[in-house]
Structure 1
């Protein structure tokens, strides 16, 4: 810190809904913060504590230390992610990072390391109210798109300066919509990286006098923003999803993991798609999935098995396509992991592959081949989650109860709103 002239160190953590929280300390306080933590009022943080049990302590994780490149010289700032604990040193069950750590520990006890590779979509806007796309580009367009031409390059440059590797970036299908894919990392590192990614995207946007949003579906007429997530399990250096003898190069473990995801998909959807707006994206007819099925080339499926790269067994993986980019990544990756592990532990059988575009089938045809629909809205999702032992065990009682309560309140507020669509359709005719 002395060599780089660091003036401030920001301690980062997230609330239950995935909003980033931060407190700045001076470099002279870092040693004490690492040894003893930094106390704060947990009752002021969404979902952390009630007033009479409010004292909490943020303990910085030194392995996450990085300089924030966008801060100017003379005001140089770095950051560390924190684990949240109670005053007696025990983990806070309200800490989303601890929820994911607990799921990863379960996987580790079975011999597995969980790796993640997300494709993160977002919109760039020239105006926020009303939302106006920054450009009129389309999928993979390489054209002069105005102010956003260098945006992705600038974001990637900062990410790489912070030790976050990027695999791909391109313009997405919607006007003003972009995608940046982060390189594989273990799930905890990746959840931290996603939180950092959102900050970087917004910081670069502000520096260019534009707006960035991770809202799942800001435009009715354009595709929504997802965060398709590629997943694999390793035992040491061995990818346990790979089997050279299988026609799909999928091991028994991989098939059971997929079966677990499909079986538990409806009950985890409230976590992977936690906003009222998330369900405007999960509508049939686009690449966002509406039904719990799997396939290889089928991009209407909830779980896709990407084509295996010959001679590269580490590339064997599966892709979960429902999750959106406004998610709390710590909670989402915890429920996805535990759903897959449940399939392995109980040896769930893998259903037949679905080759059809699922939304073109009739309800009777889908029922006949055993394909279940994902929840159609947040209310339906939380009702299913309310009955889920898997989600309750994964999140822990505190986070589980708070999450359900918060989402019920969100949907109740949404139900009271009169939308422009209703006014346009009915005001003059009813």
Structure 2
């Protein structure tokens, strides 16, 4: 059984014991056992800390449909799994145990999901709708196949808003890089950085972007799984800071027309070798694995012939339409892509330092995937990128010459222009589709297909503004 392999994995018992030491030392009273749904929502259960060892060994049970937000389609049918389905087991991953810096009585731990031991089919097997465990599997398979590993760094843009006369408005003015506007968000920045460091994020830089209230705070790159965990953690931090300051943390990709949207650029590099290093982030309130980063080794993009970088770009460009369904997962996402000229990519080009392209060589040792936005599920996004890069390296794909001109003024294959088109591209791409096996794919596409269907069936103010006086 997969569940027994996980429970008996080397070092896991030590991790459970270390968590107990933190519980006792820090006075932790309650623990969130959390995981991430296919849409990127954090769900789970809470347990009194006195029951840590019991839950670490037996897990907590939740309905299978929780991986799909326990959502129903327009016809009222549950998506992903029906109400008759069994319950999954969420088993804590002790390497992710951390005290919450804003309330020391609470800790959080990520979980891996398994089928119940009483299931008639595949009892105790890894739950195929678990996006986090799926990424861990793909990450290991990629390294075994190529002898190298991918490292990812993200640029999570989002907006800080306040309610003013019933409307949401930016806390600051839309002046890019303006230190005075950055200063307006000083308390947001300082709290986010402090909470981030306490939860294992090596915060490295930040700036005010060019939309109202738009802030980007970056943390150091790492392997895909740890980076995805940290992006989810960063989003939770933003929600908490917003609660404390009476603000609204907004992750919409395109909240305001006429201003740039919120991207989540993924910076990729391919490495040979390296080792885990526990970084001193000024805190000892979390498991060592939370502070651990992959470091050292040789960046293969720096090789003289540039083959690994070329084939990495070739793989991503070849699968851009399907990757867009994971990078831009909402109806609102495509308002960002359609507002041409405001930094978001619109065509499937790549270039050197060309910010209008979908893929940019931002430095000799890294490339930037610019399609992803602020609502992407980082586990699914990284899974899709691993699959595309794997295909590029395996088939030695070449993306052709780089684009030097503005992609906004250059003819070329366009990225999908709406969620429905992107989902169709994903369905037609065997490589990227295979990165979401079984129920992970069917649940994601069912949820997103229903979202697109609901949007098409919804009457809005636009309909009245456009058609009220259409005839006679």
The alignment's TM-score, normalised by the length of structure 1, stands at 0.91
Q: Which residue of 2 aligns with 1:341?
A: 390
Task: Give the direction of change, closer, same or farther, for the CA distance of 1:174–1:144 in structure 2 (3 Å limit).
Answer: closer
Contact 2:172 2:181 in 1 (8 A): no
Q: Which residue of 2 aligns with 1:260?
A: 315
Q: Answer yes or no: is 1:9 the counterpart of 2:31.
A: yes
Contact 1:115 1:186 in 2 (8 A): yes
> Which whole-Å CA distance do the structure 1 matches of 2:374 and 2:56 have between them?
31
Secondary structure in 2 aligned to 1:306? Answer: strand
List per-residue Cα deviations over 1:144-188 (Å, max 9, x = no partner).
678633211110111011121111111111111111112111110
Q: CA deviation at 1:245?
A: 2.7
Which aligned pairs between 1:23-422 and structure 2 lie closer than 5 A?
23-46=45-68, 49-71=81-103, 76-88=105-117, 89-110=124-145, 111-127=147-163, 130-143=167-180, 148-237=185-274, 238-246=297-305, 251-283=306-338, 284-308=340-364, 316-361=365-410, 366=411, 371-422=412-463
> Which whole-Å CA distance do the structure 2 matches of 1:265 and 1:116 have between them?
18
Contact 1:124 1:213 in 2 (8 A): yes
Q: CA deviation at 1:351?
A: 0.9
Q: Which residue of 2 aligns with 1:312?
A: none
Contact 1:15 1:48 in 2 (8 A): no
> Which whole-Å CA distance do the structure 1 matches of 2:334 and 2:132 have between them?
25
Between stretches 252-261 and 107-116, larger displacement belongs to 107-116
Contact 2:67 2:129 in 1 (8 A): no
Aligned Cα root-mean-square deviation (Å): 1.8
Between stretches 39-48 and 388-397, larger displacement belongs to 39-48
Aligned residues: 408
Task: Give the direction of change, closer, same or farther, for the CA distance of 1:280–1:137 in structure 2 (3 Å limit).
Answer: closer
Q: CA deviation at 1:12?
A: 1.0
Q: CA deviation at 1:44?
A: 4.3
Contact 1:225 1:324 in 2 (8 A): yes
Q: CA deviation at 1:196?
A: 0.6
Q: Which residue of 2 aligns with 1:20?
A: 42
Task: Give the direction of change, closer, same or farther, for the CA distance of 1:239–1:304 in structure 2 (3 Å limit).
Answer: farther
Contact 2:318 2:399 in 1 (8 A): no
Q: CA deviation at 1:406?
A: 1.5
Q: CA deviation at 1:277?
A: 0.5
List per-residue Cα deviations over 1:288-347 (Å, max 9, x = no partner).
111111111210011111133xxxxxxx11110000111111011100111111011111
Q: CA deviation at 1:208?
A: 0.3
Which segments of 5 or more consecutive residues in structure 2 lack a partner in the other structure? 1-22, 69-78, 118-123, 275-296
Q: CA deviation at 1:113?
A: 2.0
Which segments of 5 or more consecutive residues in structure 1 lack a partner in the other structure? 309-315
Q: CA deviation at 1:36?
A: 2.1
Contact 1:256 1:340 in 2 (8 A): yes
Q: Which residue of 1 aligns with 2:286?
A: none
Contact 2:80 2:446 in 1 (8 A): no
Secondary structure in 1 aligned to 2:268? Answer: strand
Contact 1:137 1:145 in 2 (8 A): no
Contact 2:160 2:215 in 1 (8 A): yes
